[in-house]
Amino acid sequence: MVGLLLKDILTISRHKIYFIMIIGFVLIPDEFLSNFVIVFAAMLPITAIAYDERSKWNELQNMMPYSSREIIYSKYILGYLLMGIVTAMSYLLHFILSIFIEEYKALIEPSIVISILGVALIISAINMPIMFKFGVEKGRFAFIGLMALTTMLGTNLSILEIDMFYNTNIEIIILCIALIVNILSIFISSKINLKLGGNLS
Amino acid sequence: MNAIEINGLTKCYEDFKLDDITMNIPMGSIVGLVGENGAGKTTTINLIMDSVSRDAGVVKVFGIDNKDCRFTSLKNDIGVVLDEAYYPEILNAKDVNSIMKYTYINWDEKTYFEYIKKLNMPLNKKFKDYSRGMKMKLAISVAMSHEAKLLILDEATSGLDPMVRDEVLQTFNEFTREEDKTVLLSSHIVSDLEKICDYIAFIHRGKLVFMEEKDVILNKFSLINISKDSVSDIPKEAIVGLKENKYSTEILVRKEMVNKGFKSEHFSLEDVILFMAKEVN
């Protein structure tokens, strides 16, 4: 599985634009945009899947000593790694910036960061089985729909003046939901891959 | 012992059926899988590697059913070259080494870089800038660098220039010098197969027409060129295939069934395949 992870990391790391975008988002002193970078990191495994599809890597990968389980897990682990690294990096940057600039102080509120990380984990978990089933081309529409739905919900909650981020322990609830959704997601993705001809050994 | 045992292998698609393939690939041999485009060669290879689920039949590699949980680990002993080398286009030969180091238990980077050098491959050039020949050479280098006991090559020589093709075929030939090493090579370039194969399996429209030792095939038949009027002198059951032209008729016959008086012309494995394919059609 390390080989698969390395392949994806090498593929993504060759695109400097992703790093520029991440840094760019982090530097914006806006609660939503600045933390959107975590959601962006959650989308990168989909980019890796897109590259696999384009190069038909899957056909080659099936000839290698990788089980279906490893193939599926590697994409999830890639997502978790990237989300973890980006979250830590953006938190650290915001922390340093907050020493000098007042606006960044609001961005280092742990409950906000954890909540957004939870939302990113949920979005990624919902997306992954869709991508495995339909491929990135068709799956992208589902992703756009999901993002629209999330934005709509977020807007409605703010209209209702439910300050969810500062609500007691809301981040723990979101993280718990993310955990459950991710377990389900991995299970569904494995089933999909099995149906598409993979083996779980 | 057989490296691969295939029994009653069947796979149905909407517009194609690989039908009841049964054959054994002996250990230490080079077996050529020949057939026209779309005959079922790649499907057979995919079914051997279990990258496509079979509808019926059994495939065993080194005695292990490819549906067995041990088969994934057994893939460490199988080097595969597909009709294209499907590496992410942004990577280069160095990256491929890093990935394979963590993919195959027996990955030998020294051997890999030796092949890269031998085949004149650039180390830092991105895969997307490779020619088809270079892509195939990279895939061959990978397949040869993890101490595989079995090489499965799907149209591995297509797209290579004649000099490199010869070099690559020589490499495959050297590979089987060790007794327990086996090669299954699919190609529609029959002359390549004729050069190095011990056995030839001919697949036509999803069916296995024959699998025989190459020398046996060539000894079994005669190609005779006779006038149209003399065709009736040949027993019907002896005729494998015939090609008529304006003045004469070329007939591929079963040697032992015809009068020894007929003089055989020079023919190749390709002639046998073409005559047979025409007859089956």
Condensed to tens digits (0 to 9), the pLDDT of residues A154-197 reads 666 655 555 555 556 777 888 888 899 899 999 998 888 766 55
pLDDT of residue A58: 86
Q: How many contacts (CB atoms, under 8 Å) link A and B? A: 89
pLDDT grade, residue B279 (50/70/90)?
Answer: low
Residue in chain A lying closest to B142 (CA): A64
pLDDT in tens, A3-39: 999 999 998 888 888 888 888 877 777 767 777 788 8
Give Cβ neighbours of residue A27 (< 8 Å, ≥ 6 apart): A34, A93, A97
Q: Which residues of B touch A58 (CB under 8 A)?
A: 86
Query: What angle separates helix A170-195 from helix A68-100, to the nearest 10 degrees?
Result: 150
Handedness of CA B159, B163, B169, B175 (dihedral sign): negative
Is pLDDT above 60 for A200?
no
B51:A66 CB<8 A:
no
The per-residue pLDDT for range B2-45, each reduced to its tens digit, is: 889 999 999 988 888 888 889 999 988 889 998 888 888 899 99
Residues 6+ apart with CB under 8 A from B229: none
B41: left (phi over 0), alpha (psi -120 to 50) or beta: alpha
Kind plus residue range of the DSSP H or E element containing B212: strand B207-213
Q: What confidence score (pLDDT) does residue B22 get?
A: 92
**Closest chain B residue by Cα to residue A67:** B72
Contact A160/B at CB under 8 A = no
The full DSSP string for B225-270 is: EEEGGGGGGS-GGGEEEEEE-SSEEEEEEEGGGS-TTSPPBP--HH
Our CA angle for B171, B174, B179, nearest 5°, is 140
Query: Average pLDDT of B76-97?
Result: 89
pLDDT of residue A164: 53
Predicted confidence at residue A167, as pLDDT, reads 56
Q: Which helix (H) or strand (E) holds A38?
A: helix A31-55
pLDDT digits 0-9 by tens, B53-82: 888 999 999 999 998 888 999 999 999 998
Q: How far is B21 from chain A (nearest CA, A)?
A: 20
- Alpha-carbon distance of A181 to A77, in angstroms, equals 15
Q: Which residue has better confidence, A57 or A99? A: A57
Distance separating alpha carbons of residues B261 and B239, to the nearest angstrom: 16
**pLDDT tens digit sequence for A126-161:** 888 888 888 888 777 877 777 777 777 766 665 555
| Arithmetic mean of pLDDT, B143-168 | 85
Cβ contact, residue pair B90, A54, below 8 Å = no
Order the strands of the B150-154 sheet from edge to edge.
Answer: B78-81, B150-154, B182-187, B30-34, B199-204, B207-213
pLDDT (average), residues B168-172: 82
DSSP secondary structure, B145-192, as one string:
SS--SEEEEESTTTTS-HHHHHHHHHHHHHHTTSTT-EEEEEES-HHH
CA angle, A36 then A41 then A45, to 5°: 145
* Unique residue bearing structure tokens 């590259």: A51
Minimal Cα distance from B103: which residue of A? A3
Residue A115 has pLDDT above 80, yes or no: yes
- Contact between B91 and A7 using a beta-carbon 8 Å cutoff: yes
pLDDT for the residue numbered A153: 73
CB-CB: which of A3, A14, A197 is closest to B51?
A197
Query: Which amino acid is residue B46, in one-letter code?
Result: N
Residues of B with CB under 8 A from a CB of A: 46, 49-53, 67-76, 78, 80, 82, 84-91, 95, 98-105, 127, 152
State the complex-level ipTM: 0.80
Question: What are the tens digits of pLDDT across the range B115-150?
Answer: 898 888 888 888 888 888 888 888 989 999 999 999
Cβ contact B88–A2 (<8 Å): no
For residue range B236-252, list pLDDT tens digits in order: 777 877 777 777 888 88
Residue B74: count of CB within 10 angstroms of its CB: 17
Q: What is the domain partition of chain B in residue ranges?
A: 2-205, 217-280
* Distance, CA of B140 to CA of B151 (rounded, Å): 10
Contact yes or no for B25/B68 (Cβ under 8 A): no
Query: Nearest residue of A to residue B42 by CA position?
Result: A59
Return the pLDDT at B58: 92
Q: Convert the pLDDT of each residue in B175-225 to its tens digit.
A: 877 778 899 999 877 888 888 888 999 888 888 888 888 888 888 888 888
Contact residues on chain A for B101, CB-CB shorter than 8 A: 3
DSSP string, A61-126: HTTSS--HHHHHHHHHHHHHHHHHHHHHHHHHHHHHHHHH-GGGGGGG-HHHHHHHHHHHHHHHHH
- Which tokens in the block code for residue B105? 């238990």
pLDDT of residue B112: 94
- Residue ranges of A 8-67 with Cβ closer than 8 A to chain B: 10-11, 14-15, 51-52, 54-60, 62-67
Q: Which tokens is A68 given?
A: 């279906």
Topology classification of domain B2-205: Rossmann fold (3.40.50)
- Most confident range, picked from A20-34, A67-81, A111-125: A67-81
pLDDT of residue B74: 92
How far away is chain B from the Cα of A64, in angstroms, using its nearest Cα? 6
Residues of B in contact with A54 (CB under 8 A): 89
